[in-house]
Chain A
């Protein structure tokens, strides 16, 4: 053999270097070139997608406010046993922190943060910071207690001590309708304050309903698309894609015009006598509106993968099944349908994941009964400015999508998913 294997069994190239090394060097150039080609996309994904996600997820556990803006209090509370009100050094530290915070005008952030945990603490902090300027010398305990009645509540001190830590699970507890009670135990929120669990449930239920409706509606259309002669199927394809090319906002507002109680659909119902003029159907600004409008918007995402899978199934399979004695229904269920499962799976995953995070449509047509978890996230991002809670809700949504994806991969296999 010309190949030299004497060197400890390592195959050498003609120039005496190990063959593996030579091969790597030969391939390196190609690898670098490939990397250069995808570099713009990688950089874009990194800055527009990965970093924001990581940042928002970090915000959901980040708890810098108290520890950074009230450093002395945080340190002094570290050894507090929590059974009774703290000792004098804690009050001295608190006054020093409040004075410093008032001077730097940053103390409001502590108030906002503490207010998420227990309402009323914002005004306590701001008013105490104002009053603290007049406190010149100790002992401070009695003076602090007098500044605001909340200082005389043991729970306030528990809240401050808990949030002196740099990280918190408080936002996640909040997002799961849980909270700390007076003694620091984790308990469920009272029944009437549980909103996120219900919203998550509603989001999943609506997404599931939309996915099922989409499968039922898209299956026959896709079958027609895949089997009709080209000139008809092209026309049909345009009908499927036309809404796809229309602005999302336009389509959603068109649904408002269609579905509202003085809208086209209700007028037709009244005209045909299906509905009494006095009791027009409430089709919008509720769950019904959200489901109708979102199904319409997400339907192409089901049709396209189904169509692309059906297009690859030759008609001979059905013919073979018929010639073997199966009636058309049995042939369809046992031979045709199983071969479209990969398309159904791909379309369902696509529609379900899209609808879980849908925002604009439920916001416009959902009213109060038809909003989804994403609307609540947007509310915390834009109105309440509780980004930590928004981050926690978003991270939970992301985690549930990943869990679903994992489940799908386990059951169906992601390799079997065909999008086109």
Chain B
């Protein structure tokens, strides 16, 4: 993060405990630039929603300070923070029509009637719900309710919008559609968004940067491509995308690379040395299934292992092969269904090869 960037939100060593015994958020530091889309991603109970609630003002931070536009906001009540928020179950007021829901934030700000009506119409058009203003939330489909919730959080032009797993209740197709829609709204309005989800594909699709949470700690904060291709530790590698794990002991380190002797008798492999404690320590080798070649010819890859094909699943665009090698039986290889790809049978013994750069040696 360069200093020149305009920082809107800043968490400074924030801690949170509900019971005074355990920390839900251990030491949270995050800077969000103006106009950025940052996602907090992690399994349930990892502390991501708690961080969002602290930012929104519904939970006080136990320790540390949160800044909004350079101003510490720990003692600012939620209704004075000017932050738009989309809730998991939308929280549309059931006794008001869609238009009344959208007008609510404008009315409490004392905006004139004509201006309110104009802004409400504009917001409805933005989410392609013009003409739905007189309906009650209960008369809308899940996707429409979701769009109203987004419009309501944006209608009063907040500088920051928070979203707490807003797409969790939608079915898969609608969820993907809404992901693009929110992304486009973000690009169009240049509004800063902080988004919480446990769905990695959602995070990868929408975000500028993703903070991966686990156990109350940010494991890695990086743009989506870096997160996927260069995970810093075994948790991130396992949480984002599909991942093969091989365990072994570091035998020697040579610059960026290290030699690892695999547990289970697989022999020595060369791996990119990312996060190991030094020679003699245990390590997890992380390998993406699409970076592994099955039936590799001699001399094309850095590492070779002999594996036995246990299962083949035909998935159209690729064939998913489960291979046993080096004492593990759930090593996955994705064979692209391209012209002239290698044809396998279950039970075949073949060479499995990969490059040292695709094999990252991480913490055990």
CB pair A324 B58 closer than 8 Å: no
Q: How far is the CA of A357 from the CA of B83 in the complex (A)?
A: 53
A232 at the interface (CB under 8 A from B): no
Please tell me if the beta carbons of B87 and A324 are within 8 angstroms of each other in the complex: no
B221 to chain A, nearest CB (A): 25
Provide the main secondary structure of the chain B interface: loop
Contact with B along A314-345 (1 / 0, CB 8 A): 10110111111111101100110011000000
User: Among the listed stretches B3-11, B26-34, B101-109, B333-341, which one makes contact with chain A, having 4 or more residues with CB under 8 Å of it?
Assistant: B101-109
A330 to B79, CA, bound (A): 11
CA distance in complex: A339, B89 (Å): 17
Contact A319 B152 (CB under 8 A): no
Q: Is the CB of B58 within 8 A of A319?
A: yes
Which of A316, A317, A326 interacts with B108 by CB under 8 Å?
A326
A325 and B79 contact, Cβ closer than 8 Å, known pairs A319-B58, A320-B85, A334-B104: yes
> In the assembled complex, which residues on chain B have CB atoms less than 8 Å from the CB atom of A321?
93, 104
Q: How far is the CA of A321 from the CA of B80 in the complex (A)?
A: 12
B94 at the interface (CB under 8 A from A): yes
Q: Tell me, rounded to whole Å, the shortest Cβ–Cβ distance linking B154 to chain A.
A: 11
A324-B105, A324-B152, A335-B93 in contact; A319/B79 too (CB < 8 A)?
no
In Å, the complex CA distance between A317 and B85 comes to 12
Q: Which of B57, B85, B153 has the most CB of A within 10 A?
A: B85
Interface SS of A by simple majority: helix
Contact B79 A317 (CB under 8 A): no
Partner among A323, A330, A338 whose Cβ is within 8 Å of the Cβ of B95: A338
With beta carbons under 8 angstroms apart, the residue of B56, B88, B93, B108 that contacts A330 is: B108
Q: Residues of B contacting A338 with CB < 8 Å?
A: 95
Residue of A whose beta carbon sits closest to that of B149: A320
Chain B residues near A323 (CB, 8 Å)? 56-57, 78-79, 81, 83-85, 153, 162
Note all chain B residues with C-beta closer than 8 A to A316.
87-89, 91
Query: Does the CB pair B91–A328 fall under 8 Å?
Result: no
Q: Is the CB of A325 within 8 A of B82?
A: yes
Q: Which of B79, B88, B152 makes the CB contact (< 8 A) with A322?
A: B79
Interface centre among A316, A324, A330 (most CB of B within 10 A): A324
Measured between beta carbons, the chain A residues less than 8 angstroms from B37 are none
CB distance from A314 to the nearest CB of B (A): 7
Q: In the bound complex, do residue A326 and residue B104 qualify as a contact, i.e. CB atoms below 8 Å apart?
A: yes
- For chain B, residues 90 to 123, give those with C-beta under 8 angstroms from any C-beta of chain A: 91, 93-95, 104-105, 108-109
Beyond A320-B85, A326-B79, is A339–B58 a contact (Cβ under 8 Å)?
no
Interface contact B56-A324, CB-CB below 8 Å: no
A327 and B108 alpha carbons, distance in the complex (Å): 8
Q: How far is the CA of A285 from the CA of B87 in the complex (A)?
A: 55
Partner of B94, one of A326, A330, A331, A339: A339
In the complex, residue of chain B having the shortest beta-carbon distance to the beta carbon of A320 = B91
> A320 and B156: CB pair below 8 A?
no
Closest residue to B53 on the A side, CB-wise?
A: A319
Q: How far is the CA of A328 from the CA of B93 in the complex (A)?
A: 15
Contact between chains at A319 and B95 (CB < 8 Å) = no
B63 to chain A, nearest CB (A): 23
Some 8 contacts from A to B, beta carbons below 8 A apart, are A314-B89, A316-B87, A322-B57, A323-B81, A324-B156, A325-B156, A326-B104, A328-B77
